[in-house]
Chain A
Amino acid sequence: MFRPYTRTQVGIALLLALLLLVVGRLFWVQGLDPGGRAEAAAGERTMVEPIPAVRGEITDTQGTVLARTLQRYDITVDQTAVTEVTVPGKDGSSQTVTPTQAVYKIADALGMKDADVKKALDGGKTFTYVARGVTPEQYNALRELNLPYIYGQPTFQRSYPDGSLAGSVVGFLGGDAEALGGIEQTQDELLRGTDGERRFEISGDGVRIPVAPQEQKAARDGSDVKLSLDSDVQFFAEQAVRERAKQLKAEWGTAVVMDVKTGKVLALADTSSVDPNVPGRAKAEDTSVRSVTQAVEPGSTEKIATAAGVLDRGIVAPDTQITVPPYLQIGSEKITDAFDHGAQNRTVAGIVGDSMNTGTVIMGSKMDKEARHENLERFGVGKPTGIELPGESTGILTPAAQWDARQEYTVLFGQGVSQTPLRTATIFQAVANKGQRIEPRVVESVTDPDGTVTTPQPPQPERVISEAAAQQTLDVMENVVTQGGAKEAAVPGYRVGGKTGTAEAPSENGGYDGFTTSFVGVAPMEDPQYLVAVTMQRPKGDVHTVGVTSTFSTIMSQVLHHYNVAPSTTQGPKYEMQVPQNLKKDVTPTNALEQTWPEPGRDESQG
């Protein structure tokens, strides 16, 4: 029997049905979400903030920061949203800001020109940079304007407190944090680290919802790189080489300071160098380390390699006497010296001491062509050192078979061969390190973000000449300073040895225009610890006055005092430079290469 529902029942049923409808709709919208609304809402709430990895620091050997990373902000604008807006003030009131007013306010906050800000705000793009790398203070000032169309993205800026001091060694970053030079470039992988990200939900007023889920992928910061460079040494090397280059109006100049026993580079000075804070302003040639990227003819400094070669092969001893004619005539080739002289009876020490090409060729030619090539090769000529800097030049050492009639002799005194000033320095390093060459390195250690310090595997020492020959070569080098042509290289209180070099600089249009002068030396001679190599390209003036011997002395003196090296208490051996009474009268320019001398005794080889 049909019993009509009471009004209450109908009402409840109706309500239930409505409730079902609402629940169904809720399930539809929230549960099934066919329109992606919930997801969109979650997306709206969810903020993904990148956590940029902090790029590692570059420090010198004493921990002085050469490159550090600072918090900065990139300011961007949504140009389509630039309209008159009402913004809340600090005191809760609100005010209207027109785009023109906004331009002035932004320009004030960022310290920019009004016109530049206006240009950035005008247009139809949703994303444009207004300014990049603004400081936190500027960003905070900007944020107080509360302009809804201006955004700030956290970013990092590299800061180089020492500026152009060692600028080309430290290197620099391009506009998009792309490493473009120096250590920044070669150690980029270690310095860069890995970015992380943070996801969280925010409420309408921008405050984070505390109970909402959040995910965080931590960034792995970059490692710190410590260089063997000493910024104090770097400074006085740069100052000294710049002073000399200014006097001589040279095209460029370099100075290398090395630790003889480890091959660690303490300074790589350039006469002009990029300021990594503003790399855009630097000239292209100032962005690289010239002593690494520029190959030049070494000139007479190479005589040390030749002397070491003949001493090592037992061909001569430092006091072996050789009669040197005024010039050499080898076939059609004439080889002369930088000064005029008659026939002289010189010792090996005297030949190197006064930098005689003729005498060097006479003793050097006792090595056959292959041996001459091998000698230079063992000193590393023609090969890169592998230093951690970009763009290293290998220089040119032509195979012995391809040497022409002149070149086979000129390589003995550093012509017809090219190498970087750093490579020239390593020849002296090998001699001073008891005959063992250690390739130069400038990265001392790497510190992970977790504090683990790793030291790169140092290059294996390679024996170039015997210890005895190395000592003899050092004695010859010391004579260059005490009795030879480089007395200005002396450092009061210390025994110093080295060799000058003058080569002709090849012109871009063929031929030669100007000189490359250099001096490479080590100290203290009783136990060589430090090496300084100064090179000057195309100095203006007379060839006899454009040397860098005094610059060497200035730098070496500073280095020895800086590292508290005890003054020398011993005297070096003094060799006769000339022994006129033993002059061989029958030696002529044409037969000089055929002269013989007694083989040096075994006892003499002890030096």
Chain B
Amino acid sequence: MSSAANTPSPAADDHGTRKPLSVVPRRAPRRSRLSTVVMCALALAAALVGILLLNIQITQGQYQLTELTGQERALSQENEALTQDIEADSAPQNLAARANDLGMVPAKEVGSIDLGSGAVTPPSAPAEKTESQNILVPPAEMKGSDAAEANRRAAEERAEKRAKEEADKKTAQREAEQKADEARDLNGGSLPAPSQRAPGN
């Protein structure tokens, strides 16, 4: 015990002349056995707590890793979905269809400017408003993209509108024909006079 070595021994001068009696110096307080145990326990507890903290740290890290991985995945998925949307919107047929919706028409006479002479060849003219082009390349049936879905719906709406317009046109034509028929001079009768067959028909 190291604590004992530091304590002056009362029996040091046993063999010499007897010293007069004196008050035994108060024994230096020896560290109690209890404190050692406490120390040990504390050390142990500290170690345990240390390990526990370390463990918690690692586990925490693990959870954080999982969370961050999840976050990364979510972001890359969002990125993927957005990329898909961009690609759906920038597909040539969808661009062309939207340009049509905005009232744009394909340029008919494109001229080039000669930078030297300033001449435009061939002679160019502003595009004229024509009937909107019927885009015959259908939009992609891409899954999992809202933009692709929207483009598809827009194409369907356009097709419906076109069909309706055509039907309207036909009806108008028929009505016009009917009117022309009615306007024909029937000489008071209800049936048109038989027309003569033209030669060659």
User: Which residues on A are within 8 Å of B, measured CB to CB?
Assistant: 64-65, 68, 70-72, 133, 135-137, 157, 159-165, 207-208, 210-211, 231-232, 234-236, 238-239, 242-243, 246, 275, 277-278, 281, 492-493, 557, 561, 566-567
**Which of B26-34, B38-46, B85-93 forms contacts with chain A?**
B85-93
Q: How far is the CB of B51 from chain A (nearest CB, A)?
A: 13
7 A-B pairs with the lowest CB-CB distances in the bound complex, closest first: A163-B140, A161-B87, A235-B92, A242-B136, A493-B122, A492-B122, A136-B77
Contact B91 A567, beta carbon cutoff 8 Å: no
Q: Contact partner of B91 among A162, A239, A281, CB < 8 A? A: A162
A235-B93 contact given A135-B144, A243-B136, A277-B140, CB 8 Å threshold: yes
**How far apart are the CA atoms of A278 and B83 in the complex, in Å?**
20
A159-B142 contact given A71-B80, A238-B136, A243-B136, CB 8 Å threshold: yes
**How far apart are the CA atoms of A42 and B6 in the complex, in Å?**
57
**How far apart are the CA atoms of A201 and B183 in the complex, in Å?**
92
Contact B121 A493, beta carbon cutoff 8 Å: yes
State whether the Cβ of B66 lies closer than 8 Å to any Cβ in chain A: yes
**How far apart are the CA atoms of A72 and B143 in the complex, in Å?**
11
Q: Contact partner of B87 among A65, A137, A210, A242, CB < 8 A? A: A65
State whether the Cβ of B177 lies closer than 8 Å to any Cβ in chain A: no
Contact B96 A165, beta carbon cutoff 8 Å: no
Contact B137 A567, beta carbon cutoff 8 Å: no
Which of under 10, 10 to 19, 20 to 34, or 35 or more describes the interface residues of B? 35 or more
Q: Contact partner of A161 among B74, B88, B111, CB < 8 A? A: B88
Chain B residues 136 to 151 lying within 8 A of chain A, measured CB to CB, are 136-145, 148
Additional A-B contact list (9), CB under 8 Å, known A210-B61, A243-B134: A64-B90, A161-B88, A162-B93, A164-B137, A207-B66, A210-B58, A281-B141, A493-B121, A567-B112
Contact with A along B61-102 (1 / 0, CB 8 A): 111001000000110110011011001101111001000000
Contact B80 A239, beta carbon cutoff 8 Å: no
Residues of B within 8 A of A281 (CB): 141
Residues of B within 8 A of A239 (CB): 93, 96, 133, 135-137
Contact A70 B63, beta carbon cutoff 8 Å: no
Q: Contact partner of B92 among A68, A165, A275, A492, CB < 8 A? A: A165
State whether the Cβ of B165 lies closer than 8 Å to any Cβ in chain A: no
Q: Contact partner of B142 among A71, A235, A243, A277, CB < 8 A? A: A277
Chain A contact residues, majority secondary structure: mixed
Contact A561 B110, beta carbon cutoff 8 Å: yes
Contact A161 B84, beta carbon cutoff 8 Å: yes
Residues of B within 8 A of A64 (CB): 90
A161-B77 contact given A239-B96, A567-B112, CB 8 Å threshold: no
State whether the Cβ of B109 lies closer than 8 Å to any Cβ in chain A: yes
Residues of B within 8 A of A70 (CB): 80, 84, 144
A566-B96 contact given A160-B140, A161-B140, A207-B62, CB 8 Å threshold: no
Q: How far is the CB of A460 from chain B (nearest CB, A)?
A: 34
**How far apart are the CA atoms of A70 and B79 in the complex, in Å?**
11
Residues of B within 8 A of A275 (CB): 138, 140-141
Residues of B within 8 A of A162 (CB): 91-93, 140
Contact with A along B143-168 (1 / 0, CB 8 A): 11100100000000000000000000
- Nearest A residue (CB) for B58: A210
Q: Contact partner of A136 among B59, B73, B145, CB < 8 A? A: B73
- Nearest A residue (CB) for B152: A163
Contact A161 B144, beta carbon cutoff 8 Å: no
Q: How far is the CB of A482 from chain B (nearest CB, A)?
A: 15
Contact A163 B62, beta carbon cutoff 8 Å: no
**How far apart are the CA atoms of A561 and B112 in the complex, in Å?**
9
Contact with A along B117-142 (1 / 0, CB 8 A): 00001100000000001111111111
Contact A231 B142, beta carbon cutoff 8 Å: no
**How far apart are the CA atoms of A236 and B62 in the complex, in Å?**
54
Contact A207 B84, beta carbon cutoff 8 Å: no
Q: List 7 A-B contacts (CB under 8 A).
A: A157-B143, A162-B92, A234-B92, A239-B136, A493-B122, A566-B112, A567-B112
- Nearest A residue (CB) for B138: A164
